[in-house]
């Protein structure tokens, strides 16, 4: 009887470890790298300290109102 209990315990531990390992592999596979393209002219203007970008998007931020 003790050998049956120990066998079931051992099999249960192996199944738990296998499930944990598969979950860990699935989480690593689901991670995606997102690459965003920035046009060269906008990048150069930002690096040169140009105010063009601020003026371009200024209207978007002015319309924000407090709730």
* Residue found by looking up tokens 């997102």 in the block: 34
Mean pLDDT, 10 residues at a time, over the chain (67 residues)?
A: 92 94 81 74 67 64 62
pTM of the model: 0.42
Q: What's the CA gap between 10 and 12, in Å, rounded?
A: 5
Q: Are 45 and 52 in contact (CB under 8 A)?
A: yes
Specify the pLDDT at position 16.
94
């Amino acid at each position: 009887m003790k050998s049956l209990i120990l066998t079931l315990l051992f099999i249960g531990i192996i199944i738990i470890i296998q499930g944990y390992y598969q979950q860990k592999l699935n989480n690593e596979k689901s991670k995606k790298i997102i690459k965003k393209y920035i046009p060269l002219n906008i990048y150069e203007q930002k690096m040169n300290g140009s105010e063009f970008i601020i003026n371009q998007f200024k209207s978007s931020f002015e319309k924000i109102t407090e709730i």
